[in-house]
Structure 1
Amino acid sequence: MTRTLDREDDLEPAAPLPPRLARLMRPELPGLAEEIVTEIRRGIPEYARPIDGPYGQVLRLSVEQNLASFVDRIEIAPGAPTVQEGCATTARKLGQYEAHEGRSMDLLQAAYRIGGQVAWRRIMRVAPKYDISSVLMSRLADAVFVYLDELAAHSLDGYQRAKANPIAPLDEKHRKVLRKLLEGPASGQETRELADDAGWTIPAEVTLVAMEPDCRCVWTALDEDVLAELEGAEPHLLIPGPFTTARREMLERAVPGRRVAVGLTVAAAQAADSLRWARQALGLVREGVLPGDAVTLCEQNMVTLWLLSDPALVEQLTRRQLSILDTMTPGQQDRLTETLRTWLVTRGTTTEIAERLHLHPQTVRYRMRKIEQTFGKRLDDPEARFGIEVVLRAMSLWARRPADGTR
């Protein structure tokens, strides 16, 4: 295979693409990613697994990551967009998946072609609105397919490496059990048959662990009954039963120096929920909302996970609960909401609130009078008061994120 996408001509853009193209393309990315994933799953039955399962998540993440990287490179890098290491790693892992599934590279090649075709159709629809010249369109087409060639080459590399170093048959059987547990009910006949074939007993309860991408794991440190999926973009483990002290020590040995999040212990049929919560917790750690501990326990952060589980809904609730403050300056809003949140949480006296906020009691009295004037009888209504407190707690949690977005 001399060309991974069967393109005989060596296409290279004649000149750098103008950065303005990136600004035009970026608003299209969310919808385009969704369209590509839909078309791939429709056109390739083998990829039409539950989209919330591990394979579906890797597929979606790969598409989103590749689109964003392609546009970013147009904007910030001279010359033709090239595949960056993060995208290359994900592409290699997709190739590894194909090898572990016992398939050829044909399906993944087809997926790349479908992605390129869908992307180009979108470009053709959008381009006329911005009067993009035919010369620039030609260069952009070249860049798209060269980029896809590079991705496919990385996937082929991962495929060939996996073929050269195959996973032990028993390990692959365990991986199939884990995937099935996360895709469907644990009581299903197919799941029980896979577990029996792997010599693994489906436990009454399980605890899922989310790990950072490219997380190095010491396989020999894992307990024999632990199921592991480490080659995807979002590696994870399944621990039978609760997360005990012994299991924590095992995890610290197996994943040294890396952050992980431990989901709630749930019935085996709810394994996907445990992993979803663990991934949410790990995301909040990366955003700076939760402390960056080596092991983050969902058990200790359930209220935070609940409050921040739907940011868009929290935003809508905030608008409805705090729109009464819109006429104030941002500084005035911050001061009043800080005082109001402290009062709702502590129900303390003026003096106690002043001590907590490091303010003079007279300042707190002034703010409380202003709060009473602004919110009126809503503070006497338990339902309204609870809604306000929920919003203020969520705002306080989001405020922990670093201003520059780094962590």
Structure 2
Amino acid sequence: MAGHVLDDPADAPVLPGRLADIMRPELESVAEEIITEIRALIPEYRRPLDGPYGKSIRAGVQQAIRLFVQQIADPSASKDNAHEVHRRLGQYEMREGRSLDTLQAAYRMGARVAWRRIMRVGRQSGFSSAVMSQLADRMLAFMDELASVALDGYLEAKAGTADAVHTWRRRLLQLIVERPAAPAEAIEELAQLVGWTVPATATPVAVRPLYRAAPPAHPDLDADVLTELGAREPHVLLPGAATRERVTALQEALPQCRFAVGACVPLREVADALRWARRALALVDEGVLPASRVTWSDECLPVLLLHSDETLVARLRQRLLSLLGGLTPKQRERMIETLRAWLDAQGNVHGIAGRLRVHPQTVRYRMRQLEATFGQRLHDPDARFELEVAVRSLRRGGPAAPAAARLPEPRLPR
């Protein structure tokens, strides 16, 4: 957790050495004054100061005052011990159930009391306003540093509780999949807090409950799997590639759910891969993709691309069906079936017959109907591609869509 730090000894302002000597006799009384004022003005600290609680508060205040005076006398004095005391103090405050606001308020109050005493002693000792200004800067930076160390301890302790771990892990997953992308530094910092190793690549998995019941909030999964199952669109994140074993474990942990496994991509591209996986689940619901328990989006990328803009695809379907406007629904369905087989078999009569399970002579008759209906479109590459997109967007085996009003016929390249 970033915070202000004391100046490097080489750059620290030079304060008179005798200032530390004058302040040392004040240490014990100013520590007591800080504790008394904090307890008087912050209700959460009014409990008795006996036992471990009181010892931790007293140790934190005394260490802070003592170190500040040491830093005045010798800017190179080690801060490690004081840092450890205040880190533990932050951890203790979290375990005691106090908020971050309360902890930070205690540090601000401690700084105010200490500065009040220093100003009085400094004036009585005749120090100049320049020296007192330098001392004020050092005091503010010093207390800010200790507050930052305590904050780190507080967050470390918070991250160690079961509920906090789940909360931070969900927040981490949210950072990874949000758009615009979160800074890599924010992801790294939060991952370190919860003990999650940031992978080079990851695989998002979209989750859909098969029934009304919501999936369990904390399924039995490997510790490196991030989950967000309470959202409107549940999802999980698998580090690296999704193995069949990993997916099987997902199915066992979430038996009432359907899954769409996204592509394995660099972490910064996970949001896109999750979007594709969610689209695959939607196409399963719509009957475009088979109703499998697990859908691998990498295996149906052309279908995902084809249905990435339904309004545009509907426009292509409408152009196709407008050419069949004069046919009955049954004739239209047979014509589309024949066109699909013709495109799949690249016009080969026997290939078409095999797909339609009809005699080749029947195929030749139907092909004459195709020629009469579509004409040059069957032989122009661009127009043929458009026909194939429109045909593939129609559900195979379902009833043909009703004919639309005839649209202007597209111009074909010469």
Q: TM-score range by the shorter chain?
A: 0.5 to 0.7
RMSD of aligned alpha carbons: 2.5
Matched residue, 1:300: 299
Q: Which has the larger displacement, 270-279 or 346-355?
A: 346-355
User: Counterparts of 1:400 and 1:211 in 2: how far apart (Å)?
Assistant: 30
User: Counterparts of 1:301 and 1:280 in 2: how far apart (Å)?
Assistant: 11
Q: Would the aligned equivalents of 2:263 and 2:298 in 1 still touch at CA under 8 Å?
A: yes
Deviation, structure 1 residue 249: 2.6
Question: Alignment partner for residue 202 of structure 1, among 198, 202, 205?
Answer: 198
Q: Would the aligned equivalents of 1:181 and 1:269 in 2 still touch at CA under 8 Å?
A: yes
Deviation, structure 1 residue 353: 1.7
Matched residue, 1:181: 176
Matched residue, 1:378: 377
Give SS of 1:239's match.
strand
Give SS of 1:234's match.
coil
Q: Would the aligned equivalents of 2:176 and 2:271 in 1 still touch at CA under 8 Å?
A: yes
Matched residue, 1:62: none
| Residues 211, 392 of structure 1: alpha-carbon distance in 2 compared, 3 angstrom cutoff | same
For residues 27-69 of structure 1, what are the alpha-carbon distances to aligned partners after superposition, in whole Å with 9 as ceiling and x for unaligned?
xxxxxxxxxxxxxxxxxxxxxxxxxxxxxxxxxxxxxxxxxxx
Give SS of 1:242's match.
coil
Deviation, structure 1 residue 212: 1.6
User: Counterparts of 1:321 and 1:167 in 2: how far apart (Å)?
Assistant: 58
Q: Would the aligned equivalents of 2:333 and 2:399 in 1 still touch at CA under 8 Å?
A: no
Deviation, structure 1 residue 189: 2.7
Give SS of 1:168's match.
helix
User: Counterparts of 2:176 and 2:360 in 1: how far apart (Å)?
Assistant: 57
Which contiguous aligned blocks of 4+ residues in structure 1 show a shift greater than 4 angstroms?
Answer: none
User: Counterparts of 1:186 and 1:206 in 2: how far apart (Å)?
Assistant: 16
Give SS of 1:261's match.
strand
Q: Would the aligned equivalents of 1:281 and 1:298 in 2 still touch at CA under 8 Å?
A: yes
Q: Would the aligned equivalents of 1:257 and 1:294 in 2 still touch at CA under 8 Å?
A: no
Matched residue, 1:273: 272
Give SS of 1:249's match.
helix
Q: Would the aligned equivalents of 2:217 and 2:229 in 1 still touch at CA under 8 Å?
A: no
User: Counterparts of 2:324 and 2:287 in 1: how far apart (Å)?
Assistant: 27
Equivalent runs, 1:141-290 vs 2, <5 Å: 168-183=163-178, 184-185=180-181, 187-213=183-209, 214-217=213-216, 219=218, 221-290=220-289
User: Counterparts of 1:375 and 1:247 in 2: how far apart (Å)?
Assistant: 49
Give SS of 1:208's match.
strand
TM-score by length of 2: 0.53
User: Counterparts of 1:186 and 1:203 in 2: how far apart (Å)?
Assistant: 16
Q: Structure 2, unaligned stretches of length 5 or more?
A: 1-99, 101-160, 401-414
AA in 2 matched with 1:202: V
User: Counterparts of 1:189 and 1:361 in 2: how far apart (Å)?
Assistant: 65
For residues 254-290 of structure 1, what are the alpha-carbon distances to aligned partners after superposition, in whole Å with 9 as ceiling and x for unaligned?
1124211111111111111111111111122222222
Q: Would the aligned equivalents of 2:225 and 2:236 in 1 still touch at CA under 8 Å?
A: yes
Deviation, structure 1 residue 321: 4.0
Deviation, structure 1 residue 385: 0.7
Equivalent runs, 1:44-59 vs 2, <5 Å: none
For residues 288-308 of structure 1, what are the alpha-carbon distances to aligned partners after superposition, in whole Å with 9 as ceiling and x for unaligned?
222222211112221221112
Aligned length: 237
Matched residue, 1:151: none
TM-score by length of 1: 0.54
User: Counterparts of 1:218 and 1:388 in 2: how far apart (Å)?
Assistant: 46
Q: Would the aligned equivalents of 1:218 and 1:254 in 2 still touch at CA under 8 Å?
A: no
Q: Would the aligned equivalents of 1:322 and 1:388 in 2 still touch at CA under 8 Å?
A: no
Q: Would the aligned equivalents of 2:227 and 2:237 in 1 still touch at CA under 8 Å?
A: yes
User: Counterparts of 2:256 and 2:173 in 1: how far apart (Å)?
Assistant: 25
Matched residue, 1:396: 395
User: Counterparts of 1:388 and 1:172 in 2: how far apart (Å)?
Assistant: 50
| Residues 263, 224 of structure 1: alpha-carbon distance in 2 compared, 3 angstrom cutoff | same
User: Counterparts of 1:372 and 1:259 in 2: how far apart (Å)?
Assistant: 44
Deviation, structure 1 residue 231: 1.0
AA in 1 matched with 2:191: A
Deviation, structure 1 residue 201: 2.6
Give SS of 1:325's match.
coil
AA in 2 matched with 1:270: E
AA in 2 matched with 1:318: R
| Residues 209, 277 of structure 1: alpha-carbon distance in 2 compared, 3 angstrom cutoff | same
Matched residue, 1:97: none
Give SS of 1:211's match.
strand
Q: Would the aligned equivalents of 1:221 and 1:253 in 2 still touch at CA under 8 Å?
A: no
User: Counterparts of 1:400 and 1:335 in 2: how far apart (Å)?
Assistant: 10
User: Counterparts of 1:253 and 1:351 in 2: how far apart (Å)?
Assistant: 46
AA in 2 matched with 1:282: L
| Residues 397, 196 of structure 1: alpha-carbon distance in 2 compared, 3 angstrom cutoff | farther
Deviation, structure 1 residue 399: 3.5
AA in 2 matched with 1:210: A
